[in-house]
Structure 1
Amino acid sequence: MKTQPDEASIYLLSLRALNDVDLSAFLPWLSSSEVQRYQHFIRPERQQQFLAGRILLRQALSSLLGLPASELELTEQPGSAPRLNNPELTHAGFSLSHSGPWVACAVSATSKLGLDIELLNSGRDFSALALQAFNTDENAWLAQQDAGNRVRDFYQLWTTKEAQIKLNAASAQCMHFPHPELSVTLCSDTRFASPPQFLLSSLSAK
Structure 2
Amino acid sequence: MILQPHNIVHLWLIDQRSVHLDDQRDTFEQWLSEDELDGLKHYSRPELRDEQLITRAGLRSSLSQYSDSIPPKRWQFERSERGKPRLSDDSPMSELSFNLSHSGDWLAIGITVDNLIGVDLQLRHHQKPLTELAERFFSAPEAEELANLPEPRQSEHFFRLWTLKEAYLKARGLGIAHGLDKARFHIDNNGLITAEFDDSLKDDPHDWQFHHYELDDDYCLSLALKQHRAQDASTHFYKLIPGGHVEPLECIGHQIQIQ
Which TM-score bucket, shorter chain as reference? 0.7 to 0.9
AA aligned opposite 2:60: R
In structure 2, what is the equivalent of residue 150 of structure 1?
Answer: 154
TM value normalised by structure 1: 0.86
Residue 136 (structure 1) aligned with residue 129 (structure 2): no
**Counterpart-to-counterpart distance in 2, 1:113 and 1:143:** 30
**Comparing 195-204 and 121-130, the one that deviates more:** 121-130
Secondary structure of 2:18 counterpart: coil
Q: 1:121 aligns with which of 92, 110, 125?
A: 125
Query: 167-176 or 101-110, which moves further after superposition?
Result: 167-176
Q: Does structure 2 retain, via aligned residues, the 8 Å contact 1:118–1:182?
A: yes
- Which is strand-richer, 1 or 2? 2
Amino acid of the structure 1 residue aligned with 2:214: P
Matching of residue 184 in structure 1 with residue 234 in structure 2: no
Indicate the structure whose relative CO is greater, using CA pairs within 8 Å and at least 6 residues apart.
1
Q: Which amino acid aligns with 1:128?
A: E
Q: For 2:167, which of 163, 174, 183 is the aligned residue?
A: 163
Q: What is residue 43 of structure 1 aligned with on the other side?
A: 45
Taking structure 2 as the reference length, what is the TM-score of the superposition? 0.70
* CA deviation string 1:57-80 (max 9, x = no partner): 112211234422232223467973
Q: 1:174 to 1:90 in 2, by over 3 A?
A: same
- Give the % identical residues: 26
Q: Contact 1:53/1:104 (CA < 8 Å) preserved in 2?
A: no
Taking structure 1 as reference, are residues 22 and 131 closer, same or farther at Cα in structure 2, changes over 3 Å only?
farther
Deviation digits for residues 61-102 of structure 1 (CA, Å, limit 9, x no counterpart): 112344222322234679733332344645431001101111
The change in CA–CA distance for 1:82 and 1:201 in structure 2 (over 3 A counts) is: same
Would the aligned equivalents of 1:8 and 1:197 in 2 still touch at CA under 8 Å?
yes
Q: Give the superposed CA RMSD.
A: 2.6
Q: In structure 2, what is the Cα distance between the partners aligned to 1:110 and 1:77?
A: 14
TM-superposed CA distance for 1:205, in Å, is 6.0
Give unpaired runs (5+ residues) of structure 1: none
**Unaligned regions of 5+ residues in structure 2, if any?**
175-182, 184-204, 246-259
Partner-residue secondary structure (3-state), 2:17: coil
**Correspondences of 1:52-91 after superposition (within 5 Å):** 52-66=54-68, 67-75=70-78, 80-87=83-90, 89-91=93-95
